[in-house]
Protein backbone atom coordinates (compact mmCIF):
# COMPACT_ATOMS: atom_id res chain seq x y z
CA UNK A 1 0.00 0.00 0.00
CA UNK A 2 2.87 2.36 0.82
CA UNK A 3 4.48 1.68 -2.54
CA UNK A 4 1.20 2.35 -4.36
CA UNK A 5 0.69 5.65 -2.50
CA UNK A 6 4.28 6.71 -3.29
CA UNK A 7 3.73 5.92 -6.96
CA UNK A 8 0.49 7.96 -7.07
CA UNK A 9 2.24 10.87 -5.35
CA UNK A 10 5.11 10.73 -7.86
CA UNK A 11 2.72 10.71 -10.84
CA UNK A 12 0.69 13.63 -9.44
CA UNK A 13 3.90 15.59 -8.82
CA UNK A 14 5.10 15.02 -12.39
CA UNK A 15 1.74 16.03 -13.86
CA UNK A 16 1.72 19.22 -11.77
CA UNK A 17 5.29 20.04 -12.79
CA UNK A 18 4.44 19.82 -16.47
CA UNK A 19 1.09 21.62 -16.28
CA UNK A 20 2.22 24.46 -14.01
CA UNK A 21 5.60 25.11 -15.61
CA UNK A 22 6.21 27.94 -18.07
CA UNK A 23 6.94 25.66 -21.01
CA UNK A 24 6.62 27.48 -24.30
CA UNK A 25 6.87 30.97 -22.81
CA UNK A 26 9.81 32.93 -24.13
CA UNK A 27 9.91 35.27 -21.14
CA UNK A 28 8.75 34.59 -17.60
CA UNK A 29 7.43 37.07 -15.06
CA UNK A 30 9.00 36.96 -11.60
CA UNK A 31 8.26 39.80 -9.24
CA UNK A 32 7.00 40.94 -5.88
CA UNK A 33 4.38 43.68 -5.76
CA UNK A 34 1.72 45.27 -3.59
CA UNK A 35 -1.63 46.54 -4.80
CA UNK A 36 -0.89 45.39 -8.36
CA UNK A 37 -3.70 45.55 -10.92
CA UNK A 38 -3.14 43.86 -14.31
CA UNK A 39 -5.13 43.45 -17.49
CA UNK A 40 -3.94 41.71 -20.64
CA UNK A 41 -5.86 40.91 -23.82
CA UNK A 42 -4.36 40.24 -27.23
CA UNK A 43 -4.53 43.94 -28.20
CA UNK A 44 -4.32 45.85 -24.87
CA UNK A 45 -2.44 45.52 -21.63
CA UNK A 46 -1.94 47.59 -18.53
CA UNK A 47 -0.36 47.24 -15.12
CA UNK A 48 -0.36 49.57 -12.15
CA UNK A 49 1.13 49.04 -8.70
CA UNK A 50 1.87 50.59 -5.35
CA UNK A 51 5.25 48.82 -5.07
CA UNK A 52 7.01 46.57 -7.58
CA UNK A 53 10.32 44.75 -7.84
CA UNK A 54 11.31 42.26 -10.53
CA UNK A 55 10.21 41.47 -14.09
CA UNK A 56 6.70 41.54 -15.53
CA UNK A 57 6.02 40.22 -19.06
CA UNK A 58 3.11 41.27 -21.27
CA UNK A 59 2.16 39.41 -24.45
CA UNK A 60 0.33 41.11 -27.35
CA UNK A 61 -0.74 39.36 -30.57
CA UNK A 62 -0.72 40.73 -34.11
CA UNK A 63 -3.20 38.31 -35.65
CA UNK A 64 -2.91 38.91 -39.36
CA UNK A 65 -0.73 40.60 -41.94
CA UNK A 66 -1.74 44.13 -40.94
CA UNK A 67 0.90 46.69 -40.05
CA UNK A 68 0.55 47.65 -36.39
CA UNK A 69 2.25 49.79 -33.79
CA UNK A 70 1.98 50.04 -30.01
CA UNK A 71 0.98 53.25 -28.29
CA UNK A 72 2.11 53.42 -24.69
CA UNK A 73 1.81 55.60 -21.62
CA UNK A 74 3.67 55.21 -18.37
CA UNK A 75 4.31 57.03 -15.11
CA UNK A 76 6.55 56.20 -12.17
CA UNK A 77 6.80 58.07 -8.88
CA UNK A 78 9.93 56.43 -7.50
CA UNK A 79 12.58 54.00 -8.72
CA UNK A 80 14.13 52.91 -12.01
CA UNK A 81 12.46 50.76 -14.66
CA UNK A 82 13.57 49.62 -18.11
CA UNK A 83 10.95 48.53 -20.64
CA UNK A 84 11.90 46.28 -23.55
CA UNK A 85 10.01 44.75 -26.47
CA UNK A 86 10.63 41.62 -28.51
CA UNK A 87 9.07 41.16 -31.93
CA UNK A 88 11.51 39.15 -34.05
CA UNK A 89 13.42 37.22 -31.39
CA UNK A 90 15.43 40.28 -30.41
CA UNK A 91 15.00 42.06 -27.06
CA UNK A 92 15.22 45.81 -27.74
CA UNK A 93 15.00 48.76 -25.36
CA UNK A 94 11.68 50.62 -25.64
CA UNK A 95 12.19 53.22 -22.88
CA UNK A 96 13.74 53.83 -19.45
CA UNK A 97 12.00 55.53 -16.54
CA UNK A 98 13.38 57.12 -13.40
CA UNK A 99 11.82 58.76 -10.35
CA UNK A 100 8.95 61.13 -11.24
CA UNK A 101 9.16 60.02 -14.86
CA UNK A 102 6.43 59.79 -17.48
CA UNK A 103 6.28 58.83 -21.13
CA UNK A 104 3.61 58.94 -23.84
CA UNK A 105 4.68 57.67 -27.28
CA UNK A 106 4.42 54.88 -29.86
CA UNK A 107 6.67 52.20 -31.33
CA UNK A 108 7.86 51.57 -34.83
CA UNK A 109 5.53 49.70 -37.18
CA UNK A 110 5.40 45.89 -36.95
CA UNK A 111 4.23 43.60 -39.75
CA UNK A 112 3.32 39.95 -39.74
CA UNK A 113 1.36 37.49 -37.69
CA UNK A 114 3.55 37.54 -34.59
CA UNK A 115 3.61 37.76 -30.84
CA UNK A 116 5.00 40.98 -29.40
CA UNK A 117 6.42 40.77 -25.89
CA UNK A 118 6.70 43.79 -23.60
CA UNK A 119 9.13 43.24 -20.71
CA UNK A 120 9.07 45.57 -17.69
CA UNK A 121 12.18 45.22 -15.48
CA UNK A 122 12.86 47.15 -12.30
CA UNK A 123 16.22 48.02 -10.81
CA UNK A 124 15.25 47.43 -7.17
CA UNK A 125 11.94 48.44 -5.62
CA UNK A 126 9.77 50.99 -7.43
CA UNK A 127 6.60 52.69 -6.28
CA UNK A 128 3.41 54.17 -7.68
CA UNK A 129 3.73 53.07 -11.30
CA UNK A 130 1.27 52.77 -14.15
CA UNK A 131 1.93 51.31 -17.62
CA UNK A 132 -0.48 50.97 -20.56
CA UNK A 133 0.11 49.42 -24.02
CA UNK A 134 -2.35 49.30 -26.95
CA UNK A 135 -1.77 47.51 -30.27
CA UNK A 136 -3.22 49.65 -33.09
CA UNK A 137 -3.50 49.18 -36.85
CA UNK A 138 -1.27 51.41 -38.88
CA UNK A 139 -3.11 53.73 -41.28
CA UNK A 140 -1.58 54.00 -44.72
Backbone angles phi, psi at 54, to 5 degrees: 130, -145
What are the C-alpha distances in Å from 37 to residues 30, 41, 46, 52, 129?
Answer: 15, 14, 8, 11, 11
Residue 81: per-residue pLDDT: 96
Under the banding of pLDDT at 50, 70 and 90, the label for residue 10 is low
Per-residue pLDDT at 109? 80
pLDDT tens-digit series, residues 100-113: 999 999 988 877 76
State which fold the 26-137 domain adopts: Jelly Rolls (2.60.120)
Q: What is the pLDDT of residue 120?
A: 96
Look at 11 and 100; give whichever has higher pLDDT: 100
State residue 45's pLDDT score. 95
Class of residue 100 by CB neighbours under 10 A (exposed 0-12, middle 13-18, buried 19+):
exposed
**Does the pLDDT of residue 8 top 80, yes or no?**
no
Q: Indicate whether 11 pLDDT > 60.
A: no
63 Cβ partners below 8 Å, 6+ apart? 42, 113
Closest CA to 52 of 127, 112, 109: 127
pLDDT for res 21 = 46
Digit-coded pLDDT (tens) for 50-88? 999 999 999 998 887 778 889 999 999 999 999 999 877
Task: Classify each residue of 103-129 as buried b or exposed e, where b means 16 or more C-beta atoms within 10 Å of its C-beta.
Answer: eeeebeebeeebebbbbbebeeebebb
Q: Write out pLDDT tens, residues 13-44.
A: 555 454 444 445 688 999 999 999 998 888 99
Going from N- to C-terminal start, the domains of the chain cover 26-137
Amino acid sequence: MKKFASMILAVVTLVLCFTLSACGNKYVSHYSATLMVRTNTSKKASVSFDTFSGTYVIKLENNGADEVFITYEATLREGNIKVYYDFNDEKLNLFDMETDGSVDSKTETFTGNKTIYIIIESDGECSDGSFSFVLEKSEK
